[in-house]
Amino acid sequence: MATAQFLCNSSYQPSFKRKNPRNFSQNSSFSSFSRHGYCNFNRNLRFHTAPFVRAMASDSKLGTKQIEIVYDPDERINRLADEVDNTSGLSRLTLFSPCKINVFLRITSKREDGFHDLASLFHVISLGDKIKFSLSPSKDKDSLSTNAPGVPLDERNLIIKALNLYRKRTGSNQFFWIHLDKSVPTGAGLGGGSSNAATALWAANQFSGGLASEKELQEWSGEIGSDVPFFFSHGAAYCTGRGEVVKDVVPIPKEIPMVLIKPQQACPTGEVYKHLCMDQTSKVEPLSLLEKISENGISQDICINDLEPPAFQVLPSLKKLKQRILAAGRGQYDAVFMSGSGSTIVGIGSPDPPQFVYDDEEYQNIFWSAHFLTRGENQWYAEPSSTLPTETE
């Protein structure tokens, strides 16, 4: 009687593995300089399957003979994956979405449309979010998820607004799965949401093969928010108008460290502007501040923020925090100031907070050590390896 027996590797567990010589792993990022910029994305995934499936046959009447057929699914699946790699475009993309600080912020006038004209030195810093984009089979909806509670996941989110704007402007029909890994605090005056929007526009343009120029992306982005166009600078810019008029300037050396201290309370931007009195703003010419920074670097007298007095009215504890940092710093910082409309206080010159931040229960919050950041020509901002949030105990 003939019998047949099938043997296979019982320890089989599917996992992602890259065959040599490409040596790609599940958590790796593949870096590429595409025609329109730098990107990190995961592709060319491989399944590591059972090393063999063996079939054996024997016949007891005729004497034992064995016929062995060896099937290697690894080879077949990887060959199919190679075919997909050769025919498909970009399908996944992970980008760093950095925030900014305002080294100085002058409010120069109130406009007839209710907005205010400003003049400010914006600079990107090394604190940021990470956003993962994947092409979706949907033809009518993006899907957004996040690790941060309270962040809207619908059209109120600036990421979704940016993707809708890109499709409107270019005619693209691509929709996405997006995961926002949030590190930048909200209500902080750091432009985290604006950065997310700019990053989404850049990503959509990468997936489409570059339907828009970078200048077009910058111009369109002003429809989303006043701070969004800045992120299409190289990382340091003198911004005027509502913030949408962007002029690149020489960046501040990234070796200069800073610490950002964000109280638990947020500063609603609308409330801050409601308390703004134009006759109480600084009279210093903004361009003179820019000139002094380029000649002598950052100092306390240069880091003027006209939104500090109204923000301190809205949140009196914020004024107390700044005063304590200045007193406890004892020359530790070149300058201490509020960024944007608050509520983050920035200390330039040291990556460490004053000791009271560790000792006082009132200030048991999260702070970050950071540095200035720029981007290269036709590249998006690269994620630094050393900027990590620190929580006091």
Indicate which residues carry an active-site annotation: 100, 227
> How many C-beta atoms lie closer than 10 Å to residue 104's C-beta?
24
> How many C-beta atoms lie closer than 10 Å to residue 153's C-beta?
15
Q: Tokens in use for 344?
A: 């983050």
Q: Whose CA is closest to 282, among 299, 262, 263, 301?
A: 301
Q: Whose CA is closest to 122, among 386, 373, 392?
A: 373
As a whole number of angstroms, the distance between CA 215 and CA 224 comes to: 15
Cα separation values, 355 from 142, 325, 371, 393, Å: 45, 9, 20, 12
As a whole number of angstroms, the distance between CA 95 and CA 383 comes to: 8
CA angle, 97 as apex, 96 and 98 as ends, to 5°?
110
3 state SS for 182-230: CCCCCCCCCCHHHHHHHHHHHHHHHHCCCCCCHHHHHHHHCCCCCCHHH
Q: Tokens in use for 24?
A: 């790609």
Q: Whose CA is closest to 206, among 124, 129, 91?
A: 91
> How many helices and strands, by DSSP H and E, does the chain display?
9, 18
* Bridge partners of residue 15, in order along the sequence: 48
Q: Which long-range contacts (CB under 8 A, 24 or more apart) does 6-13 make?
A: 6/53, 6/54, 6/55, 6/56, 7/53, 7/54, 7/55, 7/56, 8/50, 8/52, 8/53, 8/54, 9/50, 9/51, 9/52, 9/53, 12/49, 12/50
Structural Rg of the chain based on CA atoms: 27
Residue whose entry in the numeric block shows the structure tokens 């290269």 = 376
As a whole number of angstroms, the distance between CA 251 and CA 249 comes to: 6
* Bridge partners of residue 258, in order along the sequence: 348, 370
